[in-house]
Amino acid sequence: MTAEKTFQSDILIEDEKISRLAPDLETDSDHQIDASGKLILPGGVDPHVHLDLPMFNTVSSDDHYTGHKAAAFGGTTTCMDFVVLESPSPDSGRGDRGQGNFQYSVDVWMKKAEKAAIDYSFHMNLTRFNEKIAKEIPSLMKMGIQTLKVFTAYNGRLRLDDGSIFKALRIARDNGMLVMAHCENGDVIETLVNEALVAGHKSSEYHALTRPGWGAVESTLRVASMAAETEASVYIVHMNMGSEVDMLNYMRERGVKVMGETCPQYLFFTIDNLRQADGAKWICSPPMRSKADNERLWEGLSENILQTVGTDHCPFYFDGTKPIMYEGEAIAIAGKELGKDDFTKIPNGLPGIQDRMPILWSTGVNTGKITKNQFVALTSTNPAKIFGLYPQKGALMEGSDADIVIWDENKKVKYGLAMSYQRTDYNLYEGWELTGYPEKVFLRGKLIVDGNEWKGKRGDGKFLKRNVGAVL
Ligand code: URP
Ligand code: ZN
Ligand code: ZN
């Protein structure tokens, strides 16, 4: 099953690659895997994850091993996370004192990712901008990093002003790079957060009430407009508002090179989840919106207005004071409890790297909202194309990496924490009845997931240098 068609075939794997694709291939019986009656799809490509990410005096609780293992159990064999732009300490001799150094920052992330269990690559967070950084942006291409993430929110921390985003877009255009944009209105958020705190409004729902959806909508249009003016390509991450889908459609109809991603959480949940006693579990930025937004985002997927489903996987424990067992070890990592009396101190983010494909299959394919081929496009082929990995990844083609999922579309599971390898103490889809689940997962021809059994290894994942991507 590919993004284009579904067909009957054998697949021959040699030297980590798919070497032949044809009916009735011969090989010795010891090395055959019988997948009859099952679907075979290219391994999932998750374009948006945050592993081992420092935030609010803690760190996202999956690292490049545990997060990758969880990804594999959900059918994903490639993921991309974001390098934090930082500088060496002033006494290290590299002399750039807080300005941001790409090579140093990438080295830090490479070190973290030495334990990788699936293939991976990086995006660069462009959270500072000056002449030196502007000159150095093209050097990222030589490192195999063709994507810059810019933020129109998180004032005083990650945000770039519009002029800097505009300049970054021109540099990206001239160097075959893609700008990814986190779209919210930082000034409005700053104003509303300050007012909420003064008024003593500190519960979880204020996270959403102080980050209004119209800020996401105007910011999406603003960034897409700058893409139009500069003729650069833009990818809007974690789209959460129905009206953002309308903006994307409007700009795409006018030939602007703008693409969009949503994440499973924005298809099901709303601000009401934040009003629950355990509302902190749903805190991420941008926040959950309304049922009408869920529905319009689904339409965005069905109608091919949106190109990908990523996860924005950035898990934190709900109660990080209590250890959980992971591979036989008791591990506690500070999490959402840090903000139990103040929503501004709750680490932003939630788990999803394993959930993405099984949840989307059951709620999207089984309900007829998207076709099976659209499912492959959204979860694997489109991200591989947009991010310069196709056809090495995201394809079942002769010469592609043998990243393969045998998918049992009839398998029924009661999903939740007990089935999850995400290193956290909750699952957003607890108790959901799913039909369709990965049975076997191969990374470059090596079996890494066999039913409930983990056969992958720390360090087996490879860094992927990416090329110029496609505009879809
Ligand atoms: O809440 C989230 N999404 N945390 C990760 C950072 C980001 O903005 O994607
Ligand atoms: Zn973001
Ligand atoms: Zn993110």
285 ligand 1 Cβ < 6 A: yes
Buried-exposed string 187-218: b where 16+ CB fall within 10 A, e elsewhere: ebbbebbeebeeeeebbbbbbbbbbbbebbbb
50 ligand 1 Cβ < 6 A: yes
Tell me whether the omega of the peptide bond preceding residue 287 falls within 30 degrees of 0, making it cis: no
Check residue 27 and give its pLDDT: 86
- Domain boundaries of the chain, sorted by first residue: 13-24+35-454
Measured in Å, residue 194 CA sits from the centre of ligand 1 at: 20
Atom of ligand 1 nearest to the CA of 50: 5
Measured in Å, residue 338 CA sits from the centre of ligand 1 at: 17
User: Nearest C-alpha to atom 4 of ligand 1 is from which residue?
Assistant: 349
- Beta-bridged to residue 17, according to DSSP, are 14, 401
150 ligand 1 Cβ < 6 A: no
Measured in Å, residue 314 CA sits from the centre of ligand 3 at: 7
349 ligand 1 Cβ < 6 A: yes
444 ligand 1 Cβ < 6 A: no
Measured in Å, residue 82 CA sits from the centre of ligand 3 at: 8
**Best mutation site among 184, 314, 316, 343 for ligand 1, i.e. most ligand atoms within 8 A of its Cβ?**
314
261 ligand 1 Cβ < 6 A: no
User: Nearest C-alpha to atom 8 of ligand 1 is from which residue?
Assistant: 285
User: Nearest C-alpha to atom 9 of ligand 1 is from which residue?
Assistant: 312
314 ligand 1 Cβ < 6 A: yes
Mention every residue, 6+ apart, whose C-beta is less than 8 A from residue 114.
Answer: 64, 459
User: Which ligand sits closest to the CA of 312?
Assistant: 3
Beta-sheet pairing, 453-454 with 147-151: unpaired
**Torsion angles phi and psi, residue 177, rounded to 5:** -105, 165
- Three-state SS letters, 113-142: HHHCCCEEEEEEECCCCCHHHHHHCCHHHH
Mention every residue, 6+ apart, whose C-beta is less than 8 A from residue 284.
Answer: 265, 312, 314, 348, 349, 350
* Cβ neighbours of 8 (radius 10 Å): 6
pLDDT tens for the 472 residues of the chain, in order: 999 999 999 999 999 999 999 999 988 888 999 999 999 999 999 999 999 999 999 999 999 999 999 999 999 999 999 999 998 876 666 656 578 899 999 999 999 999 999 999 999 999 999 999 999 999 999 999 999 999 999 999 999 999 999 999 999 999 999 999 999 999 999 999 999 999 999 999 999 999 999 999 999 999 999 999 999 999 999 999 999 999 999 999 999 999 999 999 999 999 999 999 999 999 999 999 999 999 999 999 999 999 999 999 999 999 999 999 999 999 999 999 999 999 999 999 999 999 999 999 999 999 999 999 999 999 999 999 999 999 999 999 999 999 999 999 999 999 999 999 999 999 999 999 999 999 999 999 999 999 999 999 999 999 999 999 999 9
348 ligand 1 Cβ < 6 A: yes
- Beta-bridged to residue 437, according to DSSP, are 408
d(CA 23, CA 67) in angstroms, rounded, equals 36
Measured in Å, residue 349 CA sits from the centre of ligand 3 at: 8
Q: Identify each DSSP E strand in 95-211 by its residue range.
A: 119-125, 147-151, 178-182
Check residue 290 and give its pLDDT: 98
Q: How far is CA 352 from CA 63, 210, 229, 291, 403, in A?
A: 14, 24, 35, 20, 20
347 ligand 1 Cβ < 6 A: no
- Provide the residue type at 419 as one letter: M
State in words which class domain 13-24+35-454 has: alpha beta
User: Which ligand sits closest to the CA of 149?
Assistant: 2
**Best mutation site among 82, 240, 312, 346 for ligand 1, i.e. most ligand atoms within 8 A of its Cβ?**
312
**H or E element at residue 37:** none
385 burial type by CB count under 10 A (0-12 exposed, 13-18 middle, 19+ buried): buried
125 ligand 1 Cβ < 6 A: no
211 ligand 1 Cβ < 6 A: no
- Beta-bridged to residue 331, according to DSSP, are 324
Tell me the CB-side half-sphere exposure of residue 370, using CA atoms within 13 A: 31
∠ CA 215-129-345, nearest 5°, is 50
311 ligand 1 Cβ < 6 A: no
Radius of gyration of the chain (CA): 21
Tell me whether the omega of the peptide bond preceding residue 90 falls within 30 degrees of 0, making it cis: no
Atom of ligand 1 nearest to the CA of 151: 8
Q: How far is CA 330 from CA 276, 320, 423, in A?
A: 28, 12, 11
312 ligand 1 Cβ < 6 A: yes
Task: Evaluate whether 265 touches 352 at the Cβ level (below 8 Å).
Answer: yes
| CA 326 to chain CA centroid, nearest Å | 23
182 ligand 1 Cβ < 6 A: yes
184 ligand 1 Cβ < 6 A: no
Measured in Å, residue 91 CA sits from the centre of ligand 1 at: 31
d(CA 464, CA 466) in angstroms, rounded, equals 6
